[in-house]
Amino acid sequence: MSRRIRVVTALTIVLGVLLLTAASVRGQAFWAKDTPKLPMATTWVAQKAKLPRYTPPRTPDGVPDLQGNWSGAGGDNNSFLEDHEYVDVTTPAQESFVSDPPDGKVPYTPWALAKRNEFLAGLARGWPGETGQRLHLSPGSFCLDGLPVFSFDPQEIIQRPGSVIMLSDDTYRIIPTDGRPAISQNAKFWFGNSRGRWDGDTLVVEVTSLNGKGWFDSTGHFYSENTRMVERWRLADTNTMDYELTIEDPTIYTRPWKINFPKRRAGTGPTGGPRGVTAASILPPLATKDPYASESWERACFEGNTESMRGMHSLGFKWFYGVTPPK
Amino acid sequence: MRRGFTGLIVGVAALCMLTSPPAVGQTPAPAPYTPPRTRDGHPDLQGVWQALNTAAWDLEDHAASLGVPAGLGVVQGGAIPYQPSALARKRENFAKRGTLDPERKCYLPSVPRITYMPHPFQIVQQADKVSVLYEYLNTVRYIHMNGNPHPEGPIDWFMGDSRGRWEGNTLVVDVIHFNDQTWFDRAGNFHSEALHVVERYTRTGPDHMLYEATIEDPKVFTRPWTISMPLYRRQERNVELLEYKCHAYLLEQEWDKPGFTLTEPH
């Protein structure tokens, strides 16, 4: 977590369109064109297969202790879910987040694939195949992250008897682990409704009641209000969290599919995100002289970006209301 | 130096409490209660809490109107001590509250307003911070307990910068670095960027907590003043913070309407 002082930015419309994505409102690196392709699911799956079995420490109430500050997925900041080549300084070449199917592609139904291509074509991000029509923007552009983007981003995990609490710099998740049932599926939320349980060394979180208005990335990979997600949080070693997400929705996907990547304990390893390399995570935390370095400071994302949102509206971008899959 | 100043304000507030009896119906002085302790040895304030009063509509005594329940004020001594010009602005705010209230813009509502919005919040304590997780806007407020002083300003945060300390069984939170874009309630009670809030959270029983906030703003008020109210632990076995993503609903409702605009900051 870096220190931030909120500045009321008067982003130009062009800057807003280029940069105001879920990724860019957080701090991010700039990438040279010759940066080697960043590792994600494929590399991580191969790496973790070679790791010795790790037994996590336990909390006083006897469950695995996952507490601490965890980095985000790193790399292109959830810009593009699937394998891609270099696009621009914010979007280096990167492997797919998708670990299953093995080809790294989201297994959309034909209807959903057409929808996804429609979203991609209407972006204003410089992706191959864009029409130049500025039609579609990620919900993150409106400071509206839901799941699973929250989990892809950095967070602190705190455990209390009967619940796991996750804190980011501006919001939170509270995951009951006390066995209570999920709420009605008629009530839908950006974050859905989370229910956790411990399966051996793994925190398993079932997420239902999703409103289907969020994206997986900022370039149109979507889910629906019928989607059910299951997260698996497990320590692969002291400083590496193995995060695996299973996504099920027969109305838009032909089969369940998985996302898998590591999250690094903050302050260990090289700066700028974990990018899959667990061996480096045994490095000691980086020293800093800034006494405020570990504090989260106000981001006021919406309050500071209403000007850009007005600009996006005037350019004709559409609001994403979620999809309505055919019956 | 800032600490000393805070002490002065708390002292003045305490003196006010001693010299003027509290208005009828206001929160009684906390009965002696020994709260359970966290592992760090501090009073345990954790859990899901909610105010149960009409402060969100108006901090002062007020009559009912359409959709607004009548209510008794939470201001010690009854009235907010406005400077004359500020009182005129407050009356104008009230007259135009339908469009001017920052709540309608879905902005972060500042402290103490967020405490008595009609939504629950959850307190989570750690050694270096007390985190307050609000259902309203699903925002989180970090009260830093790490010994760092307020960072150097000027900083114009909506929620201010919160630094906490323990005084006996009370969590005392000093909050500065606000902007002037938030109000105290839906009745137009307002402040400037010079706002300084000292909050006090004191457990008074297994399921009750006394919340006090002393408000100082030399640009708007003639003297510091204090609000006081009980907070109640939510009793439902299945209580759970849900979602209130205000600006999501606002944008979705307005985006496709002719004449779309997001309210300009005033």
pLDDT in the model for residue B188:
98
Cβ–Cβ contact A215 with B under 8 A: no
Q: How confident is the model at residue B27 (pLDDT cuts 50, 70, 90)?
A: low
Which SS3 state, helix, strand or coil, does residue B129 take? strand
pLDDT in the model for residue A220:
93
pLDDT in the model for residue A132:
83
| pLDDT of residue B240 exceeding 80 | yes
Q: How confident is the model at residue A224 (pLDDT cuts 50, 70, 90)?
A: very high
Pick from B116, B110, B219, B214: nearest CA to B170: B214
Asked if B131's CB is within 8 angstroms of A167's CB, the reply is yes
DSSP letter string, B2-66? HHHHHHHHHHHHHHHHHHSPPPTTSPPPPPP----B-TTSSB---EEEEE-SSTTT-SS-B--BT
Are the CB atoms for B194 and B156 separated by under 8 Å? no
Q: How confident is the model at residue B263 (pLDDT cuts 50, 70, 90)?
A: low
What value does the mean pLDDT take over residues A302-317?
92
pLDDT in the model for residue B99:
92
What value does the mean pLDDT take over residues B195-206?
98
B231 Cβ partners below 8 Å, 6+ apart? B49, B50, B51, B115, B201, B208, B209, B210, B211
Q: Measured in whole angstroms, how far is the alpha carbon of residue B79 from the centre of its chain?
A: 17
Task: Give A-chain residues touching B104 at CB under 8 angstroms.
Answer: none
Q: Which residue does chain B place closest to A176, by CA atoms? A: B240
Asked if B260's CB is within 8 angstroms of A319's CB, the reply is no
What value does the mean pLDDT take over residues A311-322?
92
Instruction: State the nearest Cα–Cα gap between B255 and chain A, in angstroms.
Output: 7
What value does the mean pLDDT take over residues A209-215?
96
pLDDT in the model for residue A173:
98
Instruction: State the nearest Cα–Cα gap between A298 and chain B, in angstroms.
Output: 7
H or E stretch covering A313: helix A306-314
Task: Give B-chain residues touching A153 at CB under 8 angstroms.
Answer: none
Q: Which residue does chain A place closest to B139, by CA atoms? A: A171
Lowest mean pLDDT among A256-265, B7-16, B211-220, B238-247: B7-16
Burial class (CB within 10 angstroms; exposed 0-12, middle 13-18, buried 19+) of B102? buried
pLDDT in the model for residue B144:
98
Cβ–Cβ contact B249 with A under 8 A: no
| pLDDT of residue B19 exceeding 50 | no
Tell me the CA distances in angstroms from A100 to A51, A97, A177, A201, A255, one per residue in order. Answer: 20, 9, 27, 22, 10
pLDDT in the model for residue A248:
98
H or E stretch covering A118: helix A110-121
Q: Which residue does chain A place closest to B103, by CA atoms? A: A303
What value does the mean pLDDT take over residues A72-80?
80
pLDDT in the model for residue B43:
98
Q: How confident is the model at residue B60 (pLDDT cuts 50, 70, 90)?
A: very high
**φ, ψ (nearest 5 deg) of residue B212:** -130, 145
Asked if A313's CB is within 8 angstroms of B158's CB, the reply is no
Spatial separation of the C-alpha atoms in residues B136 and B118, rounded to whole Å: 8
Spatial separation of the C-alpha atoms in residues A101 and A257, rounded to whole Å: 6
Cβ–Cβ contact A319 with B under 8 A: yes
pLDDT in the model for residue B31:
58
Task: Give A-chain residues touching B265 at CB under 8 angstroms.
Answer: 306
What value does the mean pLDDT take over residues A108-115?
98
Spatial separation of the C-alpha atoms in residues A130 and A137, rounded to whole Å: 13
pLDDT in the model for residue A194:
98
ipTM over 0.85: yes
Instruction: Give the largest CA-CA distance in chain B.
Output: 59
Q: Is the pTM for the entire model greater than 0.80?
A: yes
| pLDDT of residue B11 exceeding 60 | no
Asked if A302's CB is within 8 angstroms of B151's CB, the reply is no
| pLDDT of residue B254 exceeding 80 | yes
Asked if A170's CB is within 8 angstroms of B139's CB, the reply is yes
Lowest mean pLDDT among A12-21, A107-116, B19-28: A12-21
Instruction: State the nearest Cα–Cα gap between A200 and chain B, in angstroms.
Output: 26
pLDDT in the model for residue B30:
54
Q: Measured in whole angstroms, how far is the alpha carbon of residue B198 from the centre of its chain?
A: 10
A141 Cβ partners below 8 Å, 6+ apart? A20, A21, A22, A218, A309, A312
Q: Residues B76-125: pLDDT tens digits? A: 999 999 999 999 999 999 999 999 999 999 999 999 999 999 999 999 99
Sheet containing A163-167, strands listed edge to edge, beginning at the edge strand earlier in sequence: A68-70, A155-160, A163-167, A172-176
Cβ–Cβ contact A58 with B under 8 A: no
First to last CA, chain A: 44
Q: Which residue does chain A place closest to B102, by CA atoms? A: A303
Q: Which residue does chain B place closest to A6, by CA atoms? A: B157
Asked if A170's CB is within 8 angstroms of B140's CB, the reply is yes
| pLDDT of residue B244 exceeding 70 | yes
Instruction: State the nearest Cα–Cα gap between A302 and chain B, in angstroms.
Output: 8
Pick from A20, A6, A24: nearest CA to A313: A20
CB–CB contacts below 8 A, A to B:
91
- Which one-letter DSSP state was computed for residue B86? H
User: What is the sign, positive or negative, of the torsion defined by CA atoms of B211, A3, A236, B39?
Assistant: negative
Spatial separation of the C-alpha atoms in residues A41 and A46, rounded to whole Å: 9
**φ, ψ (nearest 5 deg) of residue A42:** -60, -50
What value does the mean pLDDT take over residues B257-263?
80
Q: Residues A130-169: pLDDT tens digits? A: 888 889 998 988 999 899 999 999 999 999 999 999 999 9
Burial class (CB within 10 angstroms; exposed 0-12, middle 13-18, buried 19+) of A15? middle
Q: How confident is the model at residue A30 (pLDDT cuts 50, 70, 90)?
A: confident
Pick the more confident residue, B260 or A320.
A320
User: Per this entry, what is the length of chain B?
Assistant: 266
| pLDDT of residue A207 exceeding 90 | yes
What value does the mean pLDDT take over residues B130-147?
98
| pLDDT of residue A278 exceeding 80 | no
- Bridge partners (DSSP) of residue A258 are A100, A246
Copy the structure tokens of residue B194: 């010079």
Percent helix, percent strand, percent coil in chain A, to nearest 5: 15, 25, 60
pLDDT in the model for residue B247:
96
pLDDT in the model for residue A20:
38
What value does the mean pLDDT take over residues B4-12?
45
Helices (H) and strands (E) in chain A, counts: 6, 10
> CA A233, A236, A241 angle in degrees (round to 5)?
45
pLDDT in the model for residue A275:
44
